[in-house]
Amino acid sequence: MKNNKYILLVAVLALILGSCDPTELKKPDIGTAPSAADLQITITPGTDAFHFVIENKSTTTGIATWDLGNGSTASGSKVEAYYPIPAVYTVKLTLYAQGGNASTSKSVTTTETDWAFFSDPLITMLCGGIEAVNGRSWVMDSLAQGHMGVGPDLASSTLWWSANPLAKSQKGLYDDALNLKLTGFAATYDNKNVSYVKDFRRTDAAYSNPRMNDTDYMVDYPGPISGTWTFIAKDGKNYLKLMGATPVFPCFDTGAKDGLYEIIKITETSLEMACMGGDGNAWHYLLIPQGYVLPTITFDAVFAPTSNPNEYEFSLSNVSIPAGLSITKVVWNFGNGNTVETTNANQSQVNTYMQKGTYVVSVEVTSSEGKTYTKDLTVVVAANHPDFVEYLLNAMVMYNDFGETALVPAGVDLAGGTATIDVVANPDAAKYPNRSKNCALFTKTNNDWANAFIQLPVGYRFDITKQTKFKVLVYGTAGQEVLMKMENTDKGGNAWQTGCELRRKITATNVWEIMEFDFKGAGVNNNGDIYTSDISTDDRFNKGFYNVLRIMYQPGIHDAKYQVYLDDIAGPHVAGLQ
């Protein structure tokens, strides 16, 4: 290897004496326009055979910037370069003065090899080291959360956006590979002739046929593309620098400034980097070696009945977690609307099923690398829970559940005051008996008899000869009253005289409860021209008479605002109504 010459090497910038700020070029004290003849470079040995002191000895005053010939740049009158491998390096000085700038070059030949350079673990992990004749190829870790990202600076390069697994499928970048070799510090970008680039990069002369895909562009770019790379340690940070006659980049071209990618973290199986893109934003990259199969977390999901009715205990078993990984989240979905999330993979969970049936239970496990694993279980519940109450009885139908079913629309009778009924999110959808997404919120303000109601279409009437019960789910304040009433609108303004009503009180505050109103034995006596002691047995009332069902909250109470949630209004089947 001592006889080979390498075109790009490691450079450690030990001393920066100044910077080339464009505003400084306007200052009158940095000299007149230089010429190449005015420029002079001296190169002298440094602390060892691999370090050299490079100085600007020009007769013209100006700001000195350097291309050190090893892939790195510097600025200042006196800098130091590191050349660990025998080669001829061309040092270029550019001197900026008030009237313009000029450049000159000088070569330095080295004959010694710093073998410690090749043993640097970062170099070995990047390219595979001396033993890797074919180098090491890196591809995008497409299955990891944040394999691409963007943010305001290199330390926060996923703050604004972090790519979900496979977020950029069909963009022409997940099959790209960046190969780095130690020999010749060769960098080869194999893109299968198509690349994915930021929108502002699509006009690069090397690209053709740009077509928008997602927010950025796919371009034709004949490959593989050859370039070079170097590793730079500077100010306590490590950088990979990629260079080529045409763009060389890690699978996604964001116009990295000076071709520099800060190495945030590198292991034998991952490379995390960030660069300042040509748009001024910091772009994030997470790569893995080509062909590397990520280690996976494995587990089984099991369940068993407890001693309680319809209660089952669920847990993970045979959990295997590869070194370097951990479980960050476990989410159980019990198939009956109940879910639970935990960060403790060893914690078992219990769930109670109120109704008999077959339930598909799923558990989703998330690893520290952002990958998710899912297992499904089937639980067969043979019988209803002892506390379960069958909601829809024989000859009963759902009138309105404020979600999927609206056999009869719900309205509100203002009764001369202020009242509303609105479809809202269920305030407590986690527990039996009401796990529906939506429900109704009835509100009345300073209004005695305002009510929510459902009125059957013309020609339809309630038939309570086979079923006398009506039901509604209620969520309100304990001790407050709910009134349910049937009326016949044929009486117009005197419909109230036909009313048959029942009252119930809420038993618990802010808990869904099933409220049942059984009109068997209920009578009508409103001082009108009609009377019965039992509408369920009186043929004038039990079929073909009532067409309105009203629900009142705190009936007869005027001086306050009252609210109650209602859901699943159900009652006797109405023949022919669909």
**Strand, coil or helix: 558:** coil
CA 227 to chain centre: 36
The answer to whether 171 and 214 are in contact (CB under 8 A) is yes
Q: How many CB atoms lie within 10 A of CB 281?
A: 17
**Strand, coil or helix: 126:** helix
Element spanning 311, H or E: strand 311-320
- Nearby residues of 493 by Cβ (< 8 Å), 6 or more positions away: none
- Nearby residues of 411 by Cβ (< 8 Å), 6 or more positions away: 421, 452, 453, 454, 455
Q: Which amino acid is at 189?
A: Y
If you classify domain 11-117 with CATH, what class do you get?
A: mainly beta
For 65, list phi and psi in degrees, rounded to 5.
-125, 150
CA 50 to chain centre: 49
- For strands 252-253 and 194-197, give the pairing: parallel
- Nearby residues of 448 by Cβ (< 8 Å), 6 or more positions away: 415, 417, 555, 556, 557, 558
Per-residue CA distances from 329 to 142, 144, 430 (Å): 21, 15, 20
In the chain, which residues fall in CATH 2.60.40.10? 11-117, 298-381
Element spanning 453, H or E: strand 451-455
For the chain, 578 residues long, give each residue's pLDDT as a single digit of tens.
333 333 333 332 222 222 333 333 344 355 577 888 889 999 999 988 889 999 999 988 889 999 888 777 888 999 998 888 788 889 999 999 888 899 999 999 988 888 777 777 888 899 998 888 999 999 999 988 899 999 999 999 999 999 998 899 888 899 999 999 988 889 999 999 999 999 999 999 999 999 998 889 999 999 899 999 988 887 889 999 999 999 999 999 999 999 999 999 999 889 999 999 999 999 999 999 999 987 889 999 999 999 999 999 999 999 999 887 899 999 999 998 889 999 999 999 999 999 899 999 999 999 987 789 999 999 999 999 998 888 888 889 999 999 878 878 887 877 667 899 999 999 998 788 998 899 999 999 998 899 999 999 998 999 999 999 999 999 999 999 999 999 999 988 889 889 999 999 999 999 999 999 999 999 997 666 788 999 999 999 999 999 999 999 999 998 889 999 999 999 999 987 76
Sheet of 548-553: strand order equals: 410-413, 451-455, 548-553, 481-487, 500-505
If you classify domain 396-572 with CATH, what class do you get?
A: mainly beta
CA distance 541 to 532: 8
Q: Which amino acid is at 40?
A: Q
- Which residues lie across from 551 on neighbouring strands? 452, 484
CA distance 402 to 64: 76
* pTM, two decimal places: 0.50
Q: Please give the CATH superfamily to which domain 298-381 belongs.
A: Immunoglobulins (2.60.40.10)
- Which residues lie across from 501 on neighbouring strands? 485
For 6, list phi and psi in degrees, rounded to 5.
-110, 135
In the chain, which residues fall in CATH 2.60.120.430? 396-572
Which fold is adopted by the domain 119-289? Lipocalin (2.40.128)
